[in-house]
Structure 1
Amino acid sequence: MRSRAIAVTAAAVAAAAALAQPVHAAPLVDGVYRFAALSDGKCLTWPKSYGSIGTASLGACTDDGSTSANWQVRQRPNGTMEVSTPGSNPRTCLRLETDYRVVVSDNCADKYAEWTVSYGSAGPGSVVWADIEHTPGDRSGSWGKLVDSPDVTGRIVVRRAPIEPHYWGLQPVG
């Protein structure tokens, strides 16, 4: 009886400890999301003008005539993810340039359009963060995390340095 009480108590303590720990990053399921920069509440946006091609930047977390904050996230057959603009025709995707700027391009097929997108939280009541990392399937050296960088035009860039994964607040779009 005593060993059973100890086991139950130990299980309760373990459960409480698990709740107190940050949730580890988990893969994001396919869907439409908005990625909000936690520093100023603006969202990762794409241009709807000029054929939906151009620099990804920060803007209002809404859909308007010239930009959109809605992104379609889909698993690719090779295990990476595609972050694309929903309903674009031809299809346009979030893509990394060779100088590490982030753009929206109609070239969705190459390794520079391959991403890992995961999410997590520090627990109940805390913000749900997203981690968007360029991880090409060919394991080339162009990896890095998507950040809001004030020293870059458009403020969006991929950085190779280690970066805290809770940079973007995740806003599921219903």
Structure 2
Amino acid sequence: MDQALVLFWEKGYEGTSLTDLAEAIGVNKPSLYAAFGGKEQLFFKVLARYQERLGAFAAPSLELPSARKGLEAFLRALATFQSAEGTPQGCLLVQGALAGSEESRQVARVLCEVRESGVEMIRQCLEGARKRGELPQHTDIGALARFFGTVSQGISVQAASGVPTKELHKTISIAMRSWPETPPPKAKGTR
């Protein structure tokens, strides 16, 4: 399964052939179908494994007591994960099937849903921050979540292009400057 994960991560869904998969796994095509039900079913199993690994590496950061620090740690973990040596560069969720044939439409739809679930995780983190007073009450949480989701997906594209982790971290520092500042509480007796 790990060999299939690497292939799909490196080549995307359509760029990975059944022959590639059978050779990497060490089985013939009929055995591949018998074991996994076909390329699409294998991809979905691989996707679940990838999400577990990425989630274990990055998602806990969103639960830190400070949402701002948690979100920054989340983005940095994504950048590190996606640009690490020894693994394919970028993100399977972004690169897996952005464009493709009619046959890969289901895969593209599922990947889109998974990416949206990442934006939803960020939105929940930001909503908690607003409730705790870390963000101004008037903050458009949906727009801010979409912004940071776009940053996270942009990190993937840049990592796939070979941008080093250190450079990605600099970009994250700049993105975090967009965090809306909460005005200080008014002193008693002032209007």
TM-score relative to the length of structure 1: 0.26
Bigger radius of gyration among the two = 2
Larger % of helix: which? Answer: 2
Larger % of strand: which? Answer: 1
